[in-house]
A and B are shown apart, each in its own frame.
Chain A
Amino acid sequence: MKIKLPFKYVWTLLLIYSFQLSAENHGPEFEFNGFISAQYHLSDNDAEYNHGEEQGLEATRAGLNARVDINERFRVIGQAFVIKHENDSSAHIDWLYTEFEFSENFDIRVGKITLPIGLASEYQDVSFAYPWLNTPASFYSDAEAPRGPQLARDSYEGASLVWKQNIDDWELSVDLFGGDLDLDQMLSKNVTGFSLEADWEQIYLIELTRYQGTMRQVMIPTDPILAASMEGQQHTAWAAGFQLEQLNWLVMLEKGRVEMSDIPAMTTDTWYVTAGYRVGSLLPHVTFESFRRGRPNWNDQDTLTLGLRWDLMDKVALKFELSQIRLNQGNGLFLTRPDSSKINILGFGVDMVF
């Protein structure tokens, strides 16, 4: 992983300071945690959806999370990730950063950090951590341009300042971040943004995030004209989310918008709402997603998903889902236009953490 020069200097200073502090402590503490999500999907259409997870074992994945607490204030945290593809598997580092805690209220992080946009963005590979098999694609898909919403993207390389404060029963936090996003087919340079979070007793959670960056080195083999027009454009994204988790109820609602300055065809509006009610170890839930991209709407799809999470054991969950994608216009999140406007996908999976 490459770290830009200014961040490297900050990182080195923090490291030197931390070693000074570590002399007063008992040395570093190591912790490892892992997750596995084995999934199988069946679709009544052959068109490739999102990342191809509509067929077979494509969304199956595993990861290892490592944390080294060098002392009480300084730590290095990272997550490596392996995902199954059609004929092979690929591994990459999800995120890897150093964190220095100036006080209980103030942290600085430097490295490859998850873009904090979306309630589930920080753990979206860890299926065990949420009710669905995968996070709602209309909002969270990182499918390449021009298909995906270009909202909740890969991790950025840069720095983040996090301020936290408890006020009565609220925990408030502000995350100011900046860096570069290295996407598969393009770069988003000089990304700057903020994320505000208000958490009331882990029952209500409100999140508001906005970031912007400049598109560079855009390569879209299927649409070189679009790629040329995106070069140098300002990419702006914002999202607002609300979560309620009280007694047996779970409600999640998120809305996001993406704009690419002079290209109305890349304007995306997306939202979803999930509601679930826990009955013992069972959590049945329903999700409605909306994805609109372009003006006029030349990509427009809605998705309705009925799902069931069954917490079979303490760290094992089984999941079943039935989704119907209704294509109103364009390809939606499909690679090519399916021969039907209603596509059904059945999925089931086993999630584990250890």
Chain B
Amino acid sequence: MCVGGMSDAAEIAVVVHPENSTLRLAQKDVKRIFLGKKSAYPDRSVAVPVDQKLENQIRDDFYLKVAGKAPPQMQTYRAKMVFSGRAKSLKVLANDDSVKRWVASNKKAIGYIWQESVDESVKVVLTIEL
């Protein structure tokens, strides 16, 4: 079975700008950053998470694995956070290539892509096995 064009042993890589001083993030920190509960890296610099399109399988897999939330639960959660004023919407990018380009050109950015898409333009701070 393929997941979004990836193999059975698919892994998701959480990536940041190569010059970001963060070497590794715990899964719970990644969860907090992407759920709008935390807005900084361990060195206290601002973290700006970017999402992938709703249609992309990696988005469902990422939130299910990291936050334990299925797509409808994530939609409800985002609505709560945005309409209460607690967090802003995440920037949404089309695919892994778009995420890599964005992260490579933005020192604050943090995104997620399939492990197979990782190259030298980004730095991996967490690998999530599906």
Taking beta carbons and an 8 Å cutoff, which residues of A are in contact with B? 31, 33, 35, 63, 65, 67, 69, 72, 77, 79, 95, 97, 99, 104, 114, 122-123, 125-126, 128-130, 166, 169, 171, 199, 201-203, 245-247, 278, 281, 283, 311, 314-315, 317, 353
Do B82 and A33 touch across chains, with their CB atoms under 8 A apart? yes
B35, CB-defined interface residue at 8 Å: yes
> From residue A245, how far is it (CB to closest CB) to chain B in Å?
7
Q: How far is the CA of A275 from the CA of B9 in the complex (A)?
A: 36
Q: Does B4 contact A (CB under 8 A)?
A: no
Partner of A129, one of B32, B35, B68, B83: B83
**5 pairs from A and B in contact (CB 8 Å cutoff):** A31-B88, A79-B83, A104-B44, A123-B80, A353-B82
Contact B85 A126 (CB under 8 A): no
Report yes or no: B86 in contact with A128, Cβ–Cβ below 8 A: no
Interface residues of B in 77-100 (CB under 8 A from A): 77, 79-80, 82-86, 88-89
Bin chain B's interface residue count.
20 to 34
- Please list the residues of chain B having a beta carbon within 8 angstroms of any beta carbon in chain A: 28, 31-32, 35, 37-40, 44, 46, 54, 67-73, 75-77, 79-80, 82-86, 88-89
Chain A residues whose C-beta falls within 8 Å of the C-beta of B82 in the assembled complex: 33, 65, 353
Q: For residue A104, which residues in chain B have a CB less than 8 angstroms away from its CB?
A: 38-40, 44
Q: Which chain B residues lie closer than 8 Å to A281 at the CB level?
A: 72
> B86, A122: Cβ atoms under 8 Å?
yes
CB < 8 Å neighbour of A315 from B46, B75, B80, B86: B75
Does the CB pair A247–B68 fall under 8 Å?
Answer: yes
Q: Could you tell me if A129 and B37 are in contact, using CB atoms closer than 8 angstroms?
A: no
* Bound CA–CA A129/B79 (angstroms): 5
Instruction: Select A353's contact among B44, B54, B79, B85, beta carbons within 8 Å.
Output: B79
Question: CB-CB < 8 A to B85: which residues of A?
Answer: 65, 67, 77, 79, 95, 97, 99, 122
Contact residues in A for B31 (Cβ distance below 8 Å): 201-202
Beyond A31-B89, A33-B89, whether A123 also contacts B38 by CB under 8 A is: no
Residue pair B72, A67 in contact (C-beta under 8 Å): no
Q: Quick one: closest B residue to A73, CB to CB?
A: B46
* Residues of the A chain whose Cβ atoms lie less than 8 Å from the Cβ of B69: 202
A69 to B85, CA, bound (A): 12
How far apart are the CA atoms of A128 and B67 in the complex, in Å?
A: 20
Given known A247-B68, A278-B72, contact A122–B84 (CB-CB < 8 A): yes
- B80 CB contacts on chain A under 8 angstroms: 122-123, 126, 129
Contacting residues, chain A, for B46 (C-beta < 8 A): 72
- In the complex, chain B residues whose CB is within 8 Å of the CB of A33: 82-83, 89
A202-B35 contact in complex given A126-B79, A129-B79, C-beta closer than 8 Å: yes
Is the beta-carbon distance between A35 and B72 smaller than 8 angstroms?
no
Residues of A within 8 A of B38 (CB): 104, 166
Distance of A99 Cα from B35 Cα, bound (Å): 19
How close is A101's CB to chain B, nearest CB, in angstroms?
8
Q: Which residues of A contact B37 (CB under 8 A)?
A: 171, 199, 202
Chain B residues with CB under 8 Å of A97's CB are 85
**Chain A residue at minimum C-beta to C-beta distance from B46:** A72
Q: Which residues of B contact A69 (CB under 8 A)?
A: 88
